[in-house]
Amino acid sequence: MLDPWTADAFDYDKLVKQFGIKDFEDELNKIDNPHRLMRRKVIFGQRDFDKITNLINSNKPFAVVSGMMPSGQMHIGHKMVVDQLKWYQDHGAKLSLPIADMEAYAARGISFEKGKELAVNEYLTNYIALGLDLTKDDVDVYLQSQNQVLKDLSFRASLKTNFSEMKAIYGFTNSTNLAHVNSPLMQVADILIPQVEENGGPINTVVPVGIDQDPHLRLTRDIANKLHDELGFLVPSSTYHRFLTGLTGAKMSSSKPKTAIFLNDETKDAVKKLKSAKTGGRESLQEQKEKGGQPDQCVIFEVLLYHLMDDDKELEKVKEECLNGTLLCGDCKNRTRQLLSEFMDDLHIKQEEANEIAQTLFD
C-alpha cells in the first residue's frame, strides 16, 4: 500500500513496476535543455509525459499543478518542486498552485487562518524568492477553502468514486474520519481544475510529485476518465521524483529539525547542520585514500546533486575525485558549506521582497 500520509523509504524500481509508472529516461532525450533534476535522474518516473514533451517542443499551452500543504516550515527538500515549477514556467506552462488548507485542517488541525498565514509567509514567499513569478496572469494560486469552483468539482468527483476504491487506493478503514476519506477528492479537483470551463476548458496538465503522491494521480486518472464525457477532461500526466535524504541519513522531515535545512534557517545554523551531516566517507583517512569515498551514500553529495551544483562537469569531477580518494570529506564539506552559505545569504535577501509580493497575492 502506497499511502501519502505515512510515506517512508521506497523501493523505487519495485514501485515503478507495480504501478505502471514509466521510466523518465524514455522522454529525456526528446527534451531540449532538460532540467538538472531530469538529467540527474532525480525525476525518475512519469505517466503520459510524452504529451507534455510534444507540447513543450511545439510551443503549445499546457498546465502544471503543484499543491502545497501549509503545515510547517519549508526545507531545502521542498526547493526541488519549486525548481521544477520554474523550469515549466520558463517553458510556457500555466501554473495552478493550490494551497491545501482544508487538508492541513483535516490532517493536522491547522486553522484556515493559520494555514493562510503559513502559505503566504512561508510557502509563497519562498516560491517567489526561489525564482517563480506568481504575479503572472496565467498563474493561479488559491486556498482550497476559498475556492467554490474547486468544491463543486470535488462534489462532481465524489459522484464517480466509492468507499471501495478509496480503500483500495489509500487503505482507509471504516473508522477513518470522513473528512480524511474525502480529502483526496479535493486533490483530484486540484489536479483537474485547470481544465474546467471557467479556466478555459480541457488542457493537458502535468503534476510533478514524489512517488508517495501517486495514489492521488491514480484516483484522478480514473475520475478524469469517468468525467470525460460530461466535462471533456484530459487524463493528467505526471512525473515522479526521488526524495532528498535527511542530513542524518533518515528521512528529511519538517518535524525533525536536525534532518533538514529550513529555508528560514540563519545561514550560520544551516551551515552548522551540514557540518554534522552523514557522508559516504570511510572509517579512516587511510581507508578513504585507498578505496575512495561513496558518493551514492553521501548526503553532502546529494545536496550538491539536487541543489547546489548546477554544472554537470563540476559535479562529475567531485564524484570522480571522491571515488578515487583524492577529495576527502572535510574539504568537500567545506566547499559545500561555502556554496550553501552563498545560497542562503542570497535567498534571505530575496525573501524580503518576495514576502511583500506574497502578501498581495490574495488581495
Q: Which residues in this chain contact a second copy in the complex, by CB under 8 A?
A: 102, 105-106, 145, 148, 151-152, 155, 158-164, 166-167, 172-179, 181-182, 185
Nearer to a second copy, 128 or 150 (CB): 150
Q: Give the shortest CB-269-to-a second copy separation in angstroms.
A: 37
Pairing of strands 94-99, 205-210: unpaired
Q: Which three cell numbers stand for residue 149?
A: 469552483
Q: How far apart are CA 182 and CA 198, in angstroms?
A: 24
Q: Give the shortest CB-179-to-a second copy separation in angstroms.
A: 4
Nearer to a second copy, 132 or 166 (CB): 166
CA-based nearest residue to 312, from 76, 24, 44, 37: 37
Q: Which three cell numbers stand for residue 254?
A: 519538517
Q: Give the shortest CB-107-to-a second copy separation in angstroms.
A: 10
Give 198's DSSP letter.
G
* Neighbouring C-beta atoms of residue 29, cutoff 10 Å: 8
Q: Give the shortest CB-348-to-a second copy separation in angstroms.
A: 37
Nearer to a second copy, 160 or 348 (CB): 160
Q: Give the shortest CB-54-to-a second copy separation in angstroms.
A: 35
Nearer to a second copy, 227 or 270 (CB): 227
183 close to 151: Cβ distance less than 8 angstroms: no
Nearer to a second copy, 157 or 298 (CB): 157
239 close to 48: Cβ distance less than 8 angstroms: no
Bridge partners of 245, per DSSP, are 251
Q: How far apart are CA 115 and CA 85, in angstroms?
A: 22
Q: Give the shortest CB-158-to-a second copy separation in angstroms.
A: 4
CA-based nearest residue to 74, from 251, 309, 252: 252
Nearer to a second copy, 5 or 163 (CB): 163
Q: How far apart are CA 206 and CA 85, in angstroms?
A: 10
User: What is the separation of C-alpha 262 from the centre of its chain, rounded to a whole number of angstroms?
Assistant: 15
Q: Give the shortest CB-263-to-a second copy separation in angstroms.
A: 30
Nearer to a second copy, 39 or 163 (CB): 163
